[in-house]
Amino acid sequence: MKAKIEQQGLLKIKTDFQWLLGRYRQVLLALGEDQLVQHLFNSTGGLQPRIPNDQETIDKMTQALSIAFQLLNLVEENAAVQFRRKLEDQLGLYAIRGSWAETFDFWKKASVTEQQAIKHLKEIRIMPVLTAHPTEAKRVSIIELHREFYLLLVKKENSTWSNKEKQNLFQEIDAILDRWCRTGEIYLEKPNVQAERDNIMYYFKEVFPRALRETDQNLRSAWNVAGYDPDILEKADHYPIVEFGSWIGGDRDGHPYVSAEVTKETLSIHRAAALELLQNALQELGAKISFSNLIQPTPKILSTAIQENIQILGSVGQKEVERNPNEPWRQFVNLIQIKLQHTKEGSSEADRAYPSTNELQADLSILRASIEAVNGQQIALNLLLPIERMVQCFGFHLTRLDIRQNSTYHEKAMDQLLEATGFAANQFSNWTEAERVAFLSNELQHLRPFAVRGQSYGREADAVLAYFSVIADHIREYGPAGIGSFIVSMTRDVSDLLVVSVFMREVGLTKVPLQIVPLFETIEDLQRAPQVLDAFLKHPVSQQRRIFLPPIQEIMLGYSDSNKDGGILSSRWSIYQAESQLSAVAAQHGLKCDFFHGRGGTISRGGGKYHRFWDSMPLGSVSGQTKFTVQGETIAQQFANPLNAAYNLEMNLAGIARQLFLDQAAHPYPEQAKPIIARLAEKSKIQYKQLTHHPAFIPFFRQATPIDVLEHSKIGSRPSRRTGQNTLDDLRAIPWVFSWNQSRFHLSGWFGIGKALSEL
């Protein structure tokens, strides 16, 4: 049956694509592009390009082919959604690989009780982190066209349209194709950080709230089908936590345009958008919760809360209550909205606003209790639970902004700071690791800072102190919820992490619950990672800071850079080994690891299906808390529409849930395979490095790929090189992978494996 549905899906892709090509052909003819049509299509209307003689038609054909392939992508995306629907209808929810239903089916067969299941669910906390890595070549205008077009493809699936309605729909499709043909597809000017931030705000405000609700509904459906008690999932605190992160405005690794002011502005935009999101949701709730106390009595908990809030809010509160006589539930929602507005305006009167989400959650709990008191459980589930989940997952901050910088940059800042405060110039960067650790350990015993606020110490030092100060000011005003982690790119030694503690001390951040996160990127760094983590966790400063942190240590793993460093097999094996060893080190310190996976879109950058990715984790390495980057073009591919976004969120949540039980069940693992894979990885790395270190490799790379074009492209605000040097080490991993892909050589995805296998 599944094979038959798959065949129907493939046929649907072919049929829908051919139909769209026909409409596309008619649009081009209407635009007077007869010559282009002759070179683009064959006599039956199929796509069969033939190279024209004149440059103008060649240029037009380049765009026309690009549009055709993007149409195919949209057709495939829609067909995938329809395919999953057919599988669910004809084979059951369990048929979707990696879904909640499959995970719960696995749990039931393993005799997992409801109590154990809820415990697992509450342990899960995922955080997709959106980044502006320069792999998205399409302009925002084109991405928005894609969104419009996809919705029309979904509308076309409705089999009940009349002929007139179908014609109207087809005209809408033609109109978008017409606009598309007239719109430039790629950036002619390099986008700035603000433009990149504006783009991803669409996902945080429009897509993710809807996707979260859809994912929760999928969870409940699968839970009920599995035979678990449906009443358990009526409360928000029984659900997994889905938070969202961002690097745009906080990632300054090799990015000179992410200033302290940009970070400050970004945090303000996030907060304003989060409060607006909640205001809109509560306004919609108020419009729907029109219960009359003439039909059911007002519960005492609600009437008491209304009177207390009127006393606090005064005449403004009284006026809002009088707007809806005999509708106490709506009155209370109105009062909540007033307090949210005061929160948005920054009211200094704590009782007239919400100092944090805790107070808002308390009011929503009163509202829930009052609804349940009149037997409105179903109404609470459908109307109130989505808002409770929004508060839980988006808070007043919308997304957590990570702060990332390179360890070498921190070294320069420390040199300047020490020189300006009486130490020898460049002394710190010339010290041995032991000397650095000794100095930093001694220094961190004191609370007095090096720097005086307002004093200049040098370009790098001033920049670092400025953005650390922005974080400190934001936390003092709003708390730490909107801040992610301090991530140190190219972490090689424990001193790279202790330096961050010094910067935190400089601005008064020693007692805040923020993680200092090592990012292990190269093969060598991944191999040394367990030693570095052990030294860091043993350090007295780390142990003192653990008082303010949960029993979790966040660690970021670099897929792209390790691949560029040693080839794909060596990279993946090094990451696998590091995860296993780092988990063991953390356990020795009574901690679990929150692995932050720096994945990209392609295989050589860690890409692939989410459920397969989680299935590949080492036994015991999945704690339930995890972060992963969503980069460049994969943001639109995975999250441009809510249904697809919900599917990808579900694959992550259910995949991690499955791994949690596998860990506890001590699933057997073929230990005898490890030395074989280790040999393959080493042989592969040797072969790979023989190529990349060959004297003629760089000229070959520059002639075989369009790297020169990518280095001058306008697809991202960040430079393609970290420091501007013309070396392979300085080249970022993304243009490295992107350039091989553009030449269809894909060297980063395979080179070295064949040699290793043949020697084995």
The pLDDT tens digits of the residues spanning 429-469 come to 899 999 999 999 999 998 888 888 888 999 999 999 999 99
Structure tokens at 656: 């991690």
The pLDDT tens digits of the residues spanning 245-259 come to 999 999 998 788 899
The C-alpha atoms of residue 59 and residue 396 are separated, in whole angstroms, by 48
The C-alpha atoms of residue 95 and residue 77 are separated, in whole angstroms, by 19
Cβ neighbours for 548, distance < 8 A, ≥ 6 positions apart: 511, 512, 513
Other CB atoms within 10 Å distance of the CB of residue 212: 23
Q: List the one residue out of 701, 738, 743, 748 whose CA is nearest residue 716.
A: 738
The pLDDT tens digits of the residues spanning 274-288 come to 999 999 999 999 999
Please report the pLDDT score of residue 425 as a whole number: 62
Lowest model confidence (mean pLDDT) among 62-66, 169-173, 300-304: 62-66
- Helix (H) / strand (E) containing 170: helix 163-181
Q: Tokens 């037997």 identify what position?
A: 375
Q: What is the mean pLDDT of residues 683-691?
A: 95
User: If phi over 0 gives left and psi between -120 and 50 gives alpha, with beta otherwise, what is residue 704?
Assistant: alpha
Other CB atoms within 10 Å distance of the CB of residue 424: 10
Instruction: Dihedral sign for Cα 15, 17, 18, 22, please.
Output: positive
Please report which confidence band the pLDDT of residue 716 belongs to, taking 50, 70 and 90 as the band edges: low
Q: Are 124 and 660 in contact (CB under 8 A)?
A: yes
Q: How far is CA 600 from the centre of its chain?
A: 11
DSSP 383: I
- Distances in Å between the Cα of 90 and the Cα atoms of 4, 10, 644 are 11, 17, 20
The pLDDT tens digits of the residues spanning 158-196 come to 889 999 999 999 999 999 999 999 887 766 666 788 888
Please report the pLDDT score of residue 730 as a whole number: 66
The pLDDT tens digits of the residues spanning 103-114 come to 999 888 888 889
User: What type of residue sits at position 162?
Assistant: S
Q: Which residues are catalytically annotated?
A: 133, 564
Q: What is the mean pLDDT of residues 57-76?
A: 91
- Mean residue pLDDT across the chain: 90
Other CB atoms within 10 Å distance of the CB of residue 210: 15
Q: Tokens 């991690």 identify what position?
A: 656
Q: Are 556 and 596 in contact (CB under 8 A)?
A: yes
The C-alpha atoms of residue 411 and residue 461 are separated, in whole angstroms, by 9
